[in-house]
Amino acid sequence: MSANTIVSLTCIPMRLPFHHWSKPPLFAGRPRDKLDSALVRLETQDGMVAWGESYCVEPRALQAIFETLISPLACGQQADDPNLLAGMQRILHNLGRSGPVVHALAGLDIALWDLRAKRAGVPLYQLLGGKHRDKVRVYASLLQYYADEGLLEQVTQRALGEGYTEIKLHERTAKAVAAVRKSVGADIPVMVDTNCAWLPEEAESAITEMMSYRPYWIEEPIWQPEDEQALQALKKKVSVPLAVGENASCALALRRMVENASVQYVQPSVIKLGLTAAWDIAQTCRGTTVTCAPQVAFFGPGFLASLHLIAAQETEVSLERLYVELAHVPYGRTVPIANGWLELPDAPGLGAEPEAELIQGAFAH
């Protein structure tokens, strides 16, 4: 074995209890009081440890995938093998081109980037060609308040008071957008994520109702989210930019949207697709009318990987932060949000290590 041989790869669920100053929102018909992802811990023969993060809806399923599929294929391999991840993707492709297996591979991919940067003794953004900015603006991404005008005003004012200067809603009605626009005034950008609310034939009229309240973009306006022809048709009918990507079935779908200018913003999620795919999509956007604005509704190593990506890409965009009160804030001491901004960490790799509580599985259940 060489120093760079992978000797262990483990999945540690990270289920962070949260409060959003209201009743828990519903997810799949059930109240949701935790935000879930999973740490991915990679260790090499010489004892170096690197970290990734995977999207995780069901911890037991993701842990089983790591134990039975991902770890057996990765352990014993060379971490610096440029074909490692692509080879595993091809071996496992018949288990799905999206979903938990792909999410597990995304976590491995982020850990491999962390490891490479640590080996080189440089912050990860250097492996992406260097940084274009030292700090990144953060926008407050509100969970759903079901058009409750009082709560929307309360929470948006709370976010503004903490220094955020951009707001995103997870709402579906003009009434909700109107309430927030009234609360924040004319100059604050207000993005609207509808979570695939409408069928293609419904979207135009629903968006038109919102237009007088000046949404900055409309995110995931239609079901199915990767229906490129429907998105292209909608883009011609409405004047507000469209954003899509976190639920695209694969990276190829997003690249096609960039190449065909089907939307104005693409939003890859590094904990679903991996940093390699997300960075490739960002590079595909260069010189086009499409901007890469990664989806970042998570708090672990994937959050840091997204921060490096945004700092390294030429076009400036803000980083999404789910605006909730967490029982534990990962990297809250090492990479804190201050007045709506994040300073880019300069330590080797992702720039910070997960806290002991997370590593030890204190939030695994």
Residue 214's region, left for phi above 0, alpha for psi from -120 to 50, else beta, is left
Q: Taking each helix axis as running N to C, give the angle between helix 200-210 and helix 174-184, from 0 to 180 degrees, rounded to the nearest 10.
A: 30
Q: Which residues contact 329 (CB under 8 A, 6 or more apart)?
A: 299
Q: In the 8-state DSSP scheme, what is residue 327?
A: S
Nearest CA to 292 out of 109, 132, 59, 167 is that of 132
Q: In the 8-state DSSP scheme, what is residue 43?
A: E
Flag whether pLDDT at 41 surpasses 80: yes
Side-chain-side CA neighbours of 154 within 13 Å: the count stands at 10
pLDDT at residue 25 in the model: 85
Nearest CA to 171 out of 204, 145, 190 is that of 145
pLDDT at residue 118 in the model: 98
Residue 36 is encoded by which pair of tokens?
Answer: 């879930």
State how far the alpha carbon of 137 is from the alpha carbons of 92, 223, 281, 296, 317, in Å.
37, 30, 21, 13, 8
From CA 348, how far away is CA 341, in angstroms rounded? 21
Averaged pLDDT, 141-150: 96
Flag whether pLDDT at 58 surpasses 80: yes
Kindly report the backbone phi and psi dihedral angles of residue 242, in degrees, each rounded to the nearest multiple of 5, phi listed first: -110, 145
pLDDT at residue 29 in the model: 82
pLDDT digits (tens, 9 = 90+) for 316-360: 999 999 999 999 999 999 999 999 999 999 999 999 999 999 999
pLDDT digits (tens, 9 = 90+) for 92-129: 999 988 899 999 999 999 999 999 999 999 999 999 99
Average pLDDT, the chain: 96
How far is the first Cα of the chain from the last one, in angstroms, to the nearest whole number?
35
DSSP-assigned letters across all residues of 94-117: GG-SSSHHHHHHHHHHHHHHHHHH
Please, which pLDDT band fits residue 182 given cuts at 50, 70 and 90?
very high
DSSP-assigned letters across all residues of 226-288: T-HHHHHHHHHH-SS-EEE-TT-SSHHHHHHHHHTT-SSEE---HHHH-HHHHHHHHHHHTTS
Which comes out higher in pLDDT, residue 267 or 247? 267
Helix H or strand E encompassing 63: helix 59-65
Report how far Cα 76 is from the mean position of its chain's Cα atoms: 30
Averaged pLDDT, 62-91: 97
pLDDT at residue 358 in the model: 96
Flag whether pLDDT at 234 surpasses 80: yes
Please, which pLDDT band fits residue 57 given cuts at 50, 70 and 90?
confident
pLDDT at residue 249 in the model: 74
From CA 305, how far away is CA 332, in angstroms rounded? 16
pLDDT at residue 121 in the model: 98
Do you find a cis peptide bond into 232, omega within 30 degrees of 0?
no
Give the three-state DSSP class for 146.
coil
Count the Cβ atoms, other than its own, within 10 Å of residue 47. 8
Q: Are strands 49-55 and 135-141 parallel, antiparallel or unpaired?
A: unpaired
